Chain A
Amino acid sequence: MTAGVYEIKLDIFEGPLDLLLYLIRKNEVDIYDIPIALITRQYMKYIDAMKSLDLDLAGEYLVLAATLTHIKSRMLLPVSEEDEEEEDVDPREELVRQLLEYKAFKEAALGLDRMSILGRDVFGRDHAGEEIEKDEQPLREIGIFELVEAFRRINLDVGQKDSMEIDVEKISLSDRINDIVDKLERRGELTFTDLLEDAGNRRRLIYTFLAILELMKLRIIRAYQAVPYGTIRICLAGK
């Protein structure tokens, strides 16, 4: 039942670097002078335990296991005279840098957690007025299919003039994404048609539509509709 002991502990690690920091602290060793053999041995014990439990989880830990083993072997090799020419680089250096960086952010995360967080430690006034305003018609969230259908209808309206235009304007998806997010941040809510009608030509139309799909996939925006084929409203998620 030794695995059980590890099982409980594994839960508290946020990743391989966290586990390594824990081992360094537990052994009370200097982070700038890590006894690689000792730490690697202990690290591998945890990995073995993890393997027997959850291979998926072990995946990201294995990279570091390989790094540790590599460092260990480099430290065992005698330094040849040739090597001495190209300065004496401690094989542990890169790992230590990575550990210190991670440690700094781990502390920063704890720092954030200690702050007075809205909704947990401190509270603002309730958004009571909002619900009264919004109860005209119940809106339901819609998905990709409704959007595609709506796009098809708009696209038919706009896209009739199909002459060959050579369009030198450069449109990027990220510009369209930023544009939409900016608009929504300013105005709160927009209809699907508002967003697409701004587009003008067909290429921009398509890019705008792709941007909307991307933003929905990333759950940055949400789309709502009161009745089938009705107006589609789009707003930022979490607002």
Chain B
Amino acid sequence: MDNLKAVIEALIFVSDTPVTFSRIEGILEDVKEKEISSTINDLIREYEERNEGIFLREVAGGYQFRTGEMVGSWVQKLKGEKPAALSPAAMETLAVVAYRQPVMRSEIEKVRGVDISGTLRGLLEKNLVRIVGRKDVPGRPMIYGTTRKFLETFGLKTLSDLPTLREFRELGE
């Protein structure tokens, strides 16, 4: 296919959520997997080199066009709405869920030293956290994990893309 790059670019452009590789592969039936992935990488690099308002990013297991960080405040003005910010408390709860998942509510509360029902409910409502099951201990407490939307929101490819948690030195060796 001689216009492969144009096609892939268009496919990603029209989608409002990240397009997965397998989705693109499914549409371009006859094209080899290797060819698709190298074309996507070319595209990513081209936007990187162009270094203007738009970039092609790999997020949440897919590809998506996103504005660059430098133009963020201007786009914000166009949107005219305040960014949906998470409070520091919500951010802490989210961090514990992200790094400790699957995690029980009581474990999060032990780390943070406070009641977290409010922040947890907020995160569930924002669909950043979800119930992944129940733990097989008395009381069958719910266990929580992060969602796909969490990856999308923080621009992460996968969970292993999270910055490493700074290890804390154990006492007494």
Contact = CB atoms under 8 A, between A and B. Distances in A.
Given A104-B166, A109-B91, A17 B66 contact: no
A97 interface: yes
Contacts of B86: 113
A14 B133 CA distance: 28
Nearest to B92: A109
Contacts of A32: 171
Q: Which of B112, B131, B148, B153 has the most CB of A within 10 A?
A: B112
Contacts of B111: 101-102, 105
Contacts of B67: 122-124
A116 B155 contact: yes
Interface residues of A, number: 56
Given A122-B67, A220-B124, A93 B84 contact: no
Contacts of A64: 113
Contacts, number: 152
Given A96-B171, A172-B134, A118 B153 contact: yes
A117 B66 contact: no
Interface string A68-112: 000000000000000000000010010011101111111111111
Contacts of A218: 121, 124, 131
Interface stretch (A41-49, A134-142, A192-200, A231-239): A231-239
7 contacts: A17-B112, A32-B171, A109-B95, A124-B64, A218-B121, A220-B127, A236-B127
B72 A121 contact: yes
A156 B133 CA distance: 30
A87 B130 CA distance: 44
B16 A129 contact: yes
Nearest to B86: A113
A239 B171 CA distance: 45
Nearest to B153: A118
Given A120-B83, A238-B127, A108 B113 contact: no
